[in-house]
Amino acid sequence: MASKSLLEGRKAIVTGGASGIGEAIVQAFVKEGAEVLVVDIPESKISNSLDRNPKVTPLEIDITDKNAPDVITSKAIESMGGFDVLVNNAGISLPNTVEDDGDDIWERTMAVNVTSMFKISHSAVPELKKSDTGRIINLGSIMSDMGGPGLFVYGTSKHAVAGMTKSMAVDLGQYGITVNYLQPGAVVTSLSAPFFEDDDFRNYWIEKAPIGRLGQPSDVAHAAVFLAQKESQFISGLGLNVDGGAIVKF
């Protein structure tokens, strides 16, 4: 007898789902039986294989647009009949330090990484309350727990994700909604690949991880599948490291 898919019957929203970690999460969710609304900016087209999949509905929208949260949740209800899981994956990383004159970097990073996460979650709560297994999964970073050179605003935003997630978990637990955040380490995506072409940078992260390699988007996707399952009902407020052990190694 074939085993049941881990996310059979689940319906999810994944922001930033057209590439990188987001795309890997969408692929993993679909493989495990979920229906997915893939949200990304108009310039980011989802892969042909996902676009042709009947379990996938694309939505092109900038999540920082004023009406985006309500458009996203309304589209999910219209296309899937509702949803049980929200994955706030969309994010940006722009290099800067506290000494830089970077108001524009601060405003844009916070708008994408923090404010939109809050507003989309707020818009999603009424529908998630209808499910007895509602899930919110936010994308943090190992920078949610540490600092890094040249990542002042990004690191600040990911610390905010950690605090927001824990507070959401406290507020929403009464409805059976769990809220957790993933903390990827050095993961190779199309955006990060150029950084890893620098041998010193690449070797630093390989040596820092006790597992001895760089991460892949699929590593993070498997963790998202775990948190999205109905069975993960007693895990909430958790920051789950997906970093090969890098954060615990001096």
208: its two tokens: 């820092």
In a domain? residue 84? yes
In a domain? residue 1? no
Q: Which of 76, 94, 100 is nearest to 86 (CA)?
A: 76
CATH number for 152:
3.40.50.720
What is the distance between the alpha carbons of residues 83 and 248, in angstroms, rounded to a whole number? 36
What is the distance between the alpha carbons of residues 132 and 127, in angstroms, rounded to a whole number? 11
Alpha-carbon torsion, ordered 100, 105, 107, 111, to 10 deg: -140
142 touches 246 (CB < 8 A): yes
Per-residue model confidence (pLDDT) at position 11: 98
Residue 242's SS3 state is strand
In a domain? residue 191? yes
Alpha-carbon torsion, ordered 144, 165, 108, 241, to 10 deg: 30
Q: How many residues does the chain have?
A: 250
Per annotation, catalytic residue among 154, 175, 181, 204: 154
179: its two tokens: 């809220």
- What residues make up the domain containing 168? 11-248
**pTM of the full structure:** 0.95
Q: What is the pLDDT along the chain (250 residues), one digit of tens a residue?
A: 456 899 999 999 999 999 999 999 999 999 999 999 999 998 787 877 787 899 999 999 999 999 999 999 999 999 999 999 999 999 999 889 999 988 999 999 999 999 999 999 999 999 999 999 999 999 999 999 998 888 899 999 999 999 999 999 999 999 999 999 999 999 999 878 888 999 999 999 999 999 999 999 999 999 999 999 999 999 999 999 999 999 998 7
Q: Which of 32, 33, 14, 44 is nearest to 139 (CA)?
A: 14
In a domain? residue 6? no
Which residues in 140-249 belong to E strands, given as ranges? Answer: 178-184, 239-242
What is the distance between the alpha carbons of residues 52 and 168, in angstroms, rounded to a whole number? 35
Residue recorded with tokens 């507003």 = 119
Per-residue model confidence (pLDDT) at position 2: 55
In a domain? residue 27? yes
> 217-228 vs 20-31: helix axis angle to the nearest 10?
50
In a domain? residue 2? no
What is the distance between the alpha carbons of residues 21 and 44, in angstroms, rounded to a whole number? 13
Q: Is 181 a catalytic residue?
A: no
What's the number of domains the chain is made of?
1
In a domain? residue 62? yes
Residue recorded with tokens 């709560």 = 125
Which residues make Cβ contacts (< 8 Å) with residue 38, sequence separation at least 6? 14, 17, 18, 22, 26, 46, 50, 56, 57, 58, 59
